[in-house]
Structure 1
């Protein structure tokens, strides 16, 4: 069975991708930081819906937390990683530029290093124009 690790599974695209892959019989491990950039309760509801399906595991952690990202990816032992999570919003980058460095650069580096360590078959990175 194919194992897919997806970052940003509480977001719109990540949620729908995870849902589709679960319906196709894949095992999906989702990671999301549940940041308050937009409605956290909506993100939590999405994860709750995914958790009702067999084969879904969720981790709540920030991308820049290397230990948490490594632990989640190690637990999944993925064949494929889809990296969708990022700090979005150009205007917000003026207020909190550190959030962009941490999530979009450090976080992406953490995901890439884990993908290399696990020698995944495929790594897809599609985050935000804010990168």
Structure 2
């Protein structure tokens, strides 16, 4: 037996052993885990704080929405002023402002969805 044949035999034996080990692992049944215990954990405000929390959340939501609207109007006004008076910087800054307002509006809706899922209406 030459060295090359010996190396090939070792490779073949190790491949067979690896395949057999894989078959044994894959053919075994699933491990039995501990039974899953699910408890109903619902987020709730401390006693007497729910009305205050609702007021603060509502004011913040409407305040941010108003700021988004003001930013959109200011950006569109900047574009209009830049076009009327041939001021390219105002138009460019207005266009960037519109892009920022759109990104903020998207972020606003995503954050509202996340907050709603965290502080939802109890357990479902």
TM-score for the superposition, normalised by structure 1: 0.28
- Higher helix proportion: 2
- Higher strand proportion: 1
